[in-house]
Structures are given as structure tokens and as C-alpha cells.
Chain A
Amino acid sequence: MLFPLLAAGLLAIVRNGKLQGFIVRVSALLIASGSILLAVQTFGGRLSIRVESEWLSYGMLALDIAMSVLIVVFAIRRRKPMAAILTLIQTPLLIWFELSNGHGIVIAADMAIDRLAILMALIIGVVGSLICVYTIPYMKEYHHHHPEFKDRTPFFLAMLFVFLSAMFGIVFSNNLVWMYFFWEVTTLCSFLLIGYTQKKEAVDNAFRALVMNLAGGVGFAAAVVYVGMNLHTMELSALIEMGLKGTIVIVPAVLLAFAGLVKAAQMPFSSWLLGAMVAPTPSSALLHSSTMVKAGVFLIIRLAPILSGNIAGLMVAMVGGITFLLASLAAISQTDAKKLLAWSTVANLGLIVACGGIGTYEAVWAGILLIIFHAVSKSLLFLSVGTVEHNIGSRDIEDMHGMVTKLPEMAVMLTIGIAAMFLAPFGMLISKWAALRAFIDSDNVLIVMALVFGSAATLFYWTKWLGKIVAVLGRSARLENHIKKDEWVSLGFHAAIAVGLCFLFPVISNRVIEPYLEGFYGTQIQSVLSAGNTNLVLMMLGMVLLMPIAMYVYVHLQDEKILTAYMSGVNQGDNRGFTDSFGKPKDMYLANWYMDKYLNEKTLSMIGIAASATTLAVVLMMALGGAL
């Protein structure tokens, strides 16, 4: 956990390109293998760590203050008062609490490593470090393409590693104050990463992210104070246990869930994540897949047992459902690949959040699986889009037409990523299946409807993208590709993991998720996915994996006559152009269907924001009103 920090420190100092690459690679390898080692070692057990040192907590407090001073400075320099105000609310609140009440509370475990934490650590460690490896060549290309921006690569790399270490902090800490500290670190890091280019747009979006996440942070801080003052504990596990035993924990649950929702970019706060697209691709990949937003859903999944069946849970589930539906619809009208991915992230997080809000055994099972699968495939997609952008000079989906012939390698990567996001035998769909069942079982008809309609929209936007990629352009030259070795390593590993996970998922489910859940829900419940279905899924998976091989054989055995496509008899010799009614040659251009007249992004966001904000406001008022 501390190691990435060390790497970050080193990277900030080292300016030499080669050495930089070396450090990144070595430390990525160490982090990934470290997290795997940790997983193997502590597998199954629950490890609690208690740190008895005063100076550590004071140190954190000091850093907290330093961070808020930093934010205030930034805010003043750029004249964005909101950020300053928010940080000036929460930090003093926490300091006051720490100095007055915080001392008296006995803490049994500052850190707790259980199965869920290990899973998250694996995601962060493996996916996160793969992204870091990818960053080395990417940033070089990036500055090559964008000479107008100042090259601050060392800073960028350092931030990535700080981010990773903060994420490790979040998933391992049990002490809410610690968690809060790491929470704020990720907020600050994402702010700095989004604003990397220092263009006006980037700075604006960075501040939007900062303000929203600070607002979430205020919720977190309030929850910490409330828990400490009223329930006299500081531990997350204790809080959950109390909730399960029947103590009323609705207020902290609502507040923490609020913080989680903001971080998970749920409506009405989804705009910060969409704005985060201005940053270089690796940071988007990191924000979207393994870190940041995953911190939000992680917290909600953690809280799931105390959300189940109460008003806080209902709030979370409703917001998740609304977000899933509207974000999926909004994604249909996107032509910018990164924007589409962003909306899809928001939608999927909505689904995970809804699972957490429902909070039953099946729902949480589905939610955790979604986190895993989503992290890997989304990261793969982002990095692929980044590479494609450098190769064809655009990230517009329309420009990816005929990728199979132009850049076959990247087409394969994108296809794996997209298929893993929504197609039948891959993990996302299985989790969706379980989620659907869980939603029905818990009688949440509205959320069932949201899921059903949202999935249909999901199907639409992914397939039409896939269609663009697989279109075969006759006589089109293969583009020279400039994919670097590091990018290859990263992409290849991602793809392998995405596919491998599908085979591994029964194991993950049996060994990791189910035992974790049984801790909360008692040991009865049979497997969510019956053995028969598991076999079926594996069968289908086999079929799909056989496809490339079969395709190769088929294509080479076949001898059909190749004709031009039908264009009412007016082709210009090939499939790329036709003769128009004036007898002039014209290029053919096949556009996809975006329905932007009907599914306008702005309108949909407005509806989503209105609906979810109302839900949030009502529940917050009810919870706080009840508490006061």
C-alpha cells in the first residue's frame, strides 16, 4: 500500500525518460504481484490491524489540513469559491471532532482485510498497474500530438501512483477517519489529473469534479462525526454490525451512501465524470475502471447489509435505477467513443449501486461481480480507444468504420472489450441476470423496469459500435500501426483477464464472494447461479471462443465468388462509391444511427437530474428530520 507512494515520490523527482519507464514498469510489476501475493496469503481469513500511534492520526490530520489549504489556494487562484467553502466546512468539522470527542473512542481495528477488500485490491493492483504501464508510451505520443500542452509527465505518473495507494487505503481501512482521509486524497488526485492539460475546459471540469466530490466529502465527514458522537465507535465493521443487530443507523447510512453516490458519479452528480473526459486517456481509464468511481460503489456495497430494506437503501436503489436507465439511453446518441464509454460507466455504476441499495444476498453478489467485470472490460476499452485515437487521429465512432480491415489488432481488442460488456456468455450479462432476479425477489418493480429498458438500450449502442468495427472495407489499405510494446502488454493482459475471468467466475463466486456474503446473511443460501446454468454459460463461452479459429478455417477453405455490394446497379467499380443522378462519382458513407433528435443527451440528463435529485432530497430530509 505504501509502495506506490514511494514510486510516486521517485517519479516526481526523476526526469529522465528511460529511467522513468523503468521505474513505472518495475513498480507496476511489484504492485500487481504484491496484491496477488496478498490475496493468496490472506485468502479466506480476515486480517485486522490496529495501529496504536498517536502521531499517525495527527499526521493524517495535518495532511488533511494541508490538502484543504491546497484546495483553498487553488480555488482562490482560479476564483472558484465553492470548492473553498466546501473544504472549509468539512476540515474544521473533522478537526474539532478529532480534538474533542475522537480521543475517547477505542478502536479495535484500524484496518481490516477481508475477502471483499482483497478482491478490490486485486482489481486496483492488477488493472491499475496495467494502466500505469500503458501510460509510459501513451504520454510520449500524447505530447507528440499535442505540443501545445506543457509536458508534465512525471507529475502525471506520480499522481497515478498516489491515486493507487489512496485506493488501497480506502479498501483496507476500517477506521472511518482513515477512510475519510484516503477518500479526500482520491478527490484531490482526480482533480489534479483532470486538470492536467490546464486548458480552460479542463480546469472548469476539474473544479466541477472537485466541488461535487467535496460535497460528497461533507456528507462523509458528517457521517463520521455522527457515528462518533452518537454510536461511540469509529469502525465501519462495528457500524454494520450494529445495523444488523437493530440499532438505528439510518442517518450515517444515508450520509455515507450520499458520499458514495457522488463518487460513483450517479445522477444528479454524473456530470463530473463526463467532464473528466478532457484528461489524457490513461487517467480516464483509471477513474472509470479500477479507482475513484469504484471507491464509491465499494462503499455502497460495503454498506449494503445496513441499506437493505430501509429508506436509505431505497434511495440508493432508486437513484441507481434512474441513472442506469437514463445513462443507457443517453449513450445511444454519442458519437465520441470516450463519451459513450463514460455514459456506459455511469449506467453500469448505476446498476451496481442499485444492487447495493437492494442489499439482498443475490443483489450484492451481482453487484460485486459487476464491479470486477466492469473494471477489466472498461479499462480495456478506454485504453484501446486511446490507442486507436493515436493511430487514426480520431476517437469518433464513425471514424472507426472498417477497423477490421484498417487496424485488425485494435479491432480484436475493442471487440473483446465490447463483447465482454454486454454479450451473453460474458460476465456482465451473468451479473445482470442475477441482478434482475434479485430485483424481482425484493419487489422493486420500478427498478426492474429500469433494468429491463436500460438493458435494451445497452444492447443497441454496443452492437452498433461493434457493427462499425466489423464492417469490411474492400480494397482498403491496412494502416500502419504505431502500437508500442508497453501498450501491447497492457492491452493483451487486459484482454486475457477479461476472457479468463469468465472461466474463473464460478470459482470467484464460490470461494470469495459467497463466503464473504455468508458472513452477513447467514450460511444457508444456495448458489445464486445453479450448476446447470454455469455449465451452459461455459458452453456458450466455449462456442464464442471457438469463433476466431473457426472463422480462420472457414475463410481459408471458402471459394465464393466475390461481388460488389448491391447499390441499385450504380457502383463505381467497388463498394466505396456510386454514380449519382448527375452521372458524377460520389463517395459512399454509411453512418450509424444516433437518434439524437429523440434521445437528446441534455434532455435526458435534465430528467435524470430532476428525478434523482428529488429522490435524494426527499430521503435526506426525511432521514435528517427524523434524527433531529
Chain B
Amino acid sequence: MKTWMIVSAYILFAPLLGGLLAGIDRKITARMQGRFGPPVLQPFYDVLKLFEKESVAVNHVQNFYILFFLIGVIFTGCLFFSGGDLLMVIFALTLANIFLILGAYSANSPYSSIGALRELMLMMAYEPMVFLVAIGFYMVTGSFGISNLVQSNKMLLPYLPGIFAGFLYILTIKMRKSPFDLSMSHHAHQEIVKGITTEFSGSTLALIEIAHWYENLFLMGFIFLFFTWTSPWGPVVGVLACLVVYFLEILIDNSFARAKWQYVLSSSWAVAATLGFANVVILQLLQK
């Protein structure tokens, strides 16, 4: 019963919250650049406007993939917030992302193809680290179940500092922030136009944006898991940590220029192979 409530709350309120976060993000970004910035509700205006536009496409199937991308992301989020299996969450997210990539591929346009390939490369870059997060949780608590992780009797962060740092590193990729926003971005990088979203417009583009909001929210959920424990303070610390991390991402976003793909791939694999690996090894030694 309780899970159902959480899940429906997620489906209903996640886009609102995600959109709000995005608005705050834009405002803070503007302030960091010495500008006044758009209204906080700007992301909602954008999305609502997109729904009012004419629907155009390169072919009849491309928008369909995006529909499945959105469904996939929502499904992943539900899985996450209903306390499902962390590995299943990762797999479901991968599936959803693949729909996005296939949509961009199917448009068969130069810019969206480059965007799709880059997105795919980014997935390859962050996937190992995401798995290591799940593995780290499992090694500490003995379970992949998110419902069990939330109820752990200690904060998990002290056991997983390396993995947390690694996750922060790839979180920049997942949140599409500079320097790792290779496949598309919210900024004026235009060397590949709008990358993976180039051929999507109007309501389809709005769906991508909404999916992104849903996604951001459960990415924050990952951060939350690192910090929370069973005490009234646990969730508070968790939410605070999420906000701090979000702010950190905005800061990173504004202080770096886009990196080359070689750097993104090699550095995120290196982070996973050093920080993540070291953390896992130490955990294993501790447990013996």
C-alpha cells in the first residue's frame, strides 16, 4: 500500500519537482555568470510552449522511440522509489536510454547520429561506475534492495568514499553537465547543433525534457542512499546532501568547457578502475 502511494506520488510530482530544480539550476547558473536569469518557472513555460508547436518529424517512427524512452525512465523511477532491486534499476535505465539512442539513430541525420554515438559512448563511460555503486551497496549491506538500503542502521558514505567520489564524477555525465555534456546540452555549445535531440521538436522534445526531469530525481535518489540511515535525521541529511550535490554540479557545469570524448571515456573508466576498485577491495578486506 505504502509503496503504491510513493510510486504514484513519484509519477505525479517528480516532473514538478524536477522542473523546479531545473529552473533553480538556470537561475543559479545565470547568477554565477553575472546575469539576472530567467524566472524559476521557465522550464515549465518552455515545455508547455513545446506542446503548442506543430509536430514535425523526419520519419514516422522516431517520435515513437521517445515515447518509450519516457515510459522507460518513468518505469525505472517507479522501480527505484518502490524500493526495488538496484541492479534492475540500472538495467531498466539502460533500456530506456537505448530507446533514446535508437530514436536519434532512426532519424538518420548527421547531427543526431553523432549525438547518438556520443550518448552511447557516454553510456559506456559511466556504466562501470554505476555498477560499482550497486556493488558497493551490496557489499556493505548484503542486499541490492533499495528498501533495505534505506533502512540500513548506519550511514553508508563512510564505507564507500571512493565509490561516492566516482559516482559524483559520472553524475556530471548523467545530468548532462559540462564538461561532459557531449551528446546534447542546455547551453550554447553548438558544434553538433543539439546533438541527440537535433531532429526532435515540439511535443517530442518536451517529452525528452520531462524524462530528463524524472531521471534527475532518481539520480538524486542515488545520492540520498549514500547518506540516509534509520534515524529521524537520516532522511534530512540525505535531502540536504542531495541539494549540496546538485549545487556542486551546477558549479562544475559553469567552471568547465566541454571535454574531448577521449578524455571523458578514459577518465571515467580510470576513476572507476581506481577509486571504485580500491574501495571495493578495502571493503572486502574489512569484511574478512
Contact = CB atoms under 8 A, between A and B. Distances in A.
A562 B59 CA distance: 6
Contact of B61 (A437, A472, A561, A592): A472
Contacts of A540: 75, 92, 95
A588 B109 CA distance: 9
Contacts of A530: 85
Nearest to A448: B135
Contacts of B252: none
A538 to B, nearest CB: 12
Interface stretch (A350-358, A389-397, A455-463): A455-463
Given A436-B131, A440-B139, A543-B71, A472 B59 contact: yes
Contact of A560 (B60, B95, B139, B144): B60
Contacts of B102: 463, 466-467, 470
Q: Which interface class (under 10, 10 to 19, 20 to 34, 35 or more) fits A?
A: 35 or more
Contacts of A563: 56-58
Interface stretch (B120-128, B153-161, B224-232): B120-128
A467 B132 contact: no
Interface string A511-550: 0000000000000000000101100110010011001001
Contacts of A456: 123-125, 127-128
B193 interface: yes
A474 B117 contact: no
A424 interface: yes
B271 interface: no
A443 B113 CA distance: 41
B108 A468 contact: no
Interface stretch (A265-273, A483-491, A564-572): A564-572
B94 A459 contact: yes
B63 A558 contact: yes
A562 B125 CA distance: 35
A590 interface: yes
A96 interface: no
B36 interface: no
Interface stretch (B12-20, B40-48, B273-281): B273-281
Contacts of A558: 60, 63
A23 interface: no
Interface string B79-91: 1000011011001
A445 B55 CA distance: 50
Interface string B98-114: 10011001111111110
Contact of B124 (A429, A443, A459): A459
Contact of B109 (A443, A463, A537, A566): A566
A456 to B, nearest CB: 4
B177 to A, nearest CB: 21
B124 A560 contact: no
A449 interface: yes
A290 B96 CA distance: 31
B59 A474 contact: yes
Contact of A551 (B64, B84, B87, B123): B64
A580 to B, nearest CB: 13
A478 to B, nearest CB: 15
Nearest to B269: A453
A452 interface: yes
B56 A562 contact: yes
Interface in A199-228: none
Interface in B22-58: 54-58
A544 B65 CA distance: 12
Contact of A424 (B59, B94, B139): B94
A149 interface: no
Contacts of A22: none
A445 B280 contact: yes
Contacts of B198: 566
A449 B64 contact: no
Interface string A415-453: 000000001110001000100110010010100110011
Given A467-B101, A532-B84, A566-B193, 17 more contacts: A429-B91, A437-B87, A443-B284, A445-B280, A449-B128, A455-B127, A456-B128, A460-B121, A463-B98, A467-B120, A472-B107, A473-B108, A551-B61, A555-B60, A561-B55, A565-B199, A567-B110
What 7 pairs across the A-B complex have the smallest Cβ distances? A565-B109, A467-B105, A456-B127, A424-B95, A424-B91, A471-B108, A560-B55
8 contacts: A429-B91, A436-B135, A443-B284, A460-B120, A467-B105, A470-B106, A555-B60, A561-B55
Interface of A: 402, 404, 423-425, 429, 433, 436-437, 440, 443, 445, 448-449, 452-453, 455-457, 459-460, 463-464, 466-468, 470-474, 530, 532-533, 536-537, 540, 543-544, 547, 550-551, 554-555, 558, 560-567, 575, 588, 590, 592-593, 598
